[in-house]
Amino acid sequence: MIIVKVGGSVFSDKRGEPENFKGEVVRSIARELASFYPGEDFIVVHGGGSFGHPEAKRYGIREGLPEDPATADFRRMGFTLTHEAMLRANARFIDAFVRKGLPAFSVSTSSVFITENGEVAYGDLEVLKRLLELKFIPVLFGDVSIDLSKGIDILSGDQIITYLARMLEPDKVIFLMDVDGIYDGRPGEGKLIQNLPREGIPALLERLNCTAAGTDVTGGICNKLREAEKIAEHSEVWFVNGKVRGRLSGAIRGDGFGTRIV
Amino acid sequence: MIIVKVGGSVFSDKRGEPENFKGEVVRSIARELASFYPGEDFIVVHGGGSFGHPEAKRYGIREGLPEDPATADFRRMGFTLTHEAMLRANARFIDAFVRKGLPAFSVSTSSVFITENGEVAYGDLEVLKRLLELKFIPVLFGDVSIDLSKGIDILSGDQIITYLARMLEPDKVIFLMDVDGIYDGRPGEGKLIQNLPREGIPALLERLNCTAAGTDVTGGICNKLREAEKIAEHSEVWFVNGKVRGRLSGAIRGDGFGTRIV
């Protein structure tokens, strides 16, 4: 089984119009997956892009549910509106996948997972496992979450994948990004790292200045690398460009262009 | 806590255009709930109406996943498309509720419940319970389901409520219908039953010819009565007209017009 993460920046421009969606990119991803299905099982997890991020920020979801009733009311509304925005992104994915003949099935992240400190504290994977057995392709997404300490929070697609990798032990986890992989420095400046041993990640995190929080609500590349370090305990990890046709297929086959963590 | 079921025929005309939605009816329901919130906690479950039913029928979802690969592929597509149609109905509900200031939150039925023989065999209520604690109004819906014996099936809103009533012991369950309540005979012909003792239900089922399967995919009034009999073990049950303003409020207060099962 292979888990594919479609980063928000692959299918959407966060700085563009609200809820913009690169349909041709997602259809191309679906086409590549279709050429391996049903021989290979997949779980797809997508990010928020221009759908979830603006709402999550506007309502300050990450700050949790406060005591003050007026602020709490405001946050509750933001919580539900952020989820609805993510469902709209998800519906676009399902539509693109179905058009390519893939039985993608929407699983609502917030219905299944409970978080604590931004990580999954509890997750019920019964439905997910059975969907896989029945040859569906479950499609999850970064979403709002009920949180044990803050009341409410955001659960990023990357965190979902860390949890799924630990529980389901996939053969491979593939992160689709809008760059060619992990760079030793800023993308476009540093050199692309094609083979990254898991033990090399802590030193890389330091070189990339990952001690401070990133600008992305979900932590960006630093967070990705930290999660990749955990995931690589259980499975091979790939970072490839999701906007360049064929890169996903290369990672599925195992001979692709991008960053491979072993 | 009160569970409110909004029947498909209340918010949609099953014989009308695909995905027709009576927004003014749902906004009126939201307005009535808002006058009791946050003093009272609610769970809302809605049916399929012109959203889920046509898809479920076209793809024969109730017949399960067969051995034949081509039919299985067809059913898998129908399964995902039926769920997407229900998510569109659900989004209309959430929108109407949020506009009335209610923090309604979408919970995907198929992400949470697994069925066997049309009943809930497994359900994870962790998220639901915490949503209630945090003063959200969870909104679930009749949906497709992973099924232990048939692979896939339909889980009706009424069945969800039976399960929730058993697990959560609500103070009251209110079924909103497009008629005034339960009739001793066909609606409009028989007499409205205002007080129905639970022990009277088996005799009524016989008088209503409920031994044969109904025309509704989810069983219609016979199924409702059978479920009501089970629910009444745990909670007071009301059947009221969801299209007449004030009837829902009457049932919430306990002095309303409709059928009350005690």
pLDDT of residue B222: 86
Q: Which pTM value belongs to this model?
A: 0.95
Residue B189's pLDDT band, with cuts at 50, 70 and 90, is confident
CA–CA distance, B62 with B214 (Å, rounded to integer): 14
pLDDT of residue B206: 87
* Average pLDDT score over residue span A208-226: 70
Query: Do B127 and A106 make contact, defined as CB atoms within 8 angstroms?
Result: no
Instruction: Quote the ipTM score.
Output: 0.94
pLDDT of residue A12: 97
pLDDT at B83 > cutoff 80 = yes
Query: Do B80 and A73 make contact, defined as CB atoms within 8 angstroms?
Result: no
Considering only the beta carbons, identify the residue of B91, B107, B146 that sits closest to A131: B146
Least confident interval from A16-20, A52-56, A167-171, B243-247:
A52-56
For residue A111, give every residue at least 6 positions away whose Cβ sits within 8 Å of its Cβ, in sequence order, or none. B107, B108, B111, B112, B127
3-state secondary structure of B65: coil
**What one-character DSSP code corresponds to residue B251?**
H
Burial code (b: 16+ CB inside 10 Å, e: under 16) for B81-110 equals bbbbbbbebbebbbbbbbebebbbbbbbbb
Of A139, A118, A115, give the one whose Cα is nearest residue A127: A139
How do beta strands B119-123 and B113-116 pair? antiparallel
From residue A124, how far is each of A119, A136, B62, B146 by CA, in Å? 14, 17, 25, 14
Query: Do A98 and B77 make contact, defined as CB atoms within 8 angstroms?
Result: yes
Token code pair at residue B87: 């998510």
Residue A210's pLDDT band, with cuts at 50, 70 and 90, is confident
Token code pair at residue B185: 């005979």
Give the residue from chain B lying closest to A93, CA to CA.
B84
Of A114, A98, A207, give the one whose Cα is nearest residue B134: A114
Query: Do A114 and B130 make contact, defined as CB atoms within 8 angstroms?
Result: yes
Question: Which residues does B contribute to its contact with A (CB < 8 Å)?
Answer: 65, 72-73, 76-77, 79-81, 83-84, 87-88, 91, 94-95, 98, 101, 103-108, 110-112, 114, 122, 124, 126-127, 130-131, 134-136, 146, 151-152
Please give the full DSSP string across chain A, using - where no structure is assigned.
-EEEEE-HHHH--TTSSTT---HHHHHHHHHHHHTTTTTS-EEEEE--HHHHHHHHHHTTGGG---SSHHHHHHHHHHHHHHHHHHHHHHHHHHHHHHHTT--EEE--HHHHEEEETTEEEEE--HHHHHHHHTT-EEEEE-EEEEETTTEEEEE-HHHHHHHHHHHH--SEEEEEESSSS-EESSTTTSEE-SEE-GGGHHHHHHHTTTTS--SSTT-HHHHHHHHHHHHTTTSEEEEEETTSTTHHHHHHHT--SSEEE-
Of A62 and B214, which is predicted with more confidence?
A62
pLDDT of residue B188: 63
Token code pair at residue B29: 């329901």
From residue A103, how far is each of A205, B3, B5 by CA, in Å? 38, 33, 30
- Mean per-residue pLDDT over chain A, rounded: 93
* Average pLDDT score over residue span A9-23: 95
pLDDT of residue B10: 97
For the stretch B16-71, pLDDT in tens is 999 999 999 999 999 999 999 999 999 999 999 999 989 999 999 999 999 999 99
The correct CATH number of B2-261 out of 3.40.50.10470, 3.60.21.10, 3.40.1160.10, 3.40.50.300 is: 3.40.1160.10
Q: Which residues of B touch A95 (CB under 8 A)?
A: 84
pLDDT of residue B244: 97
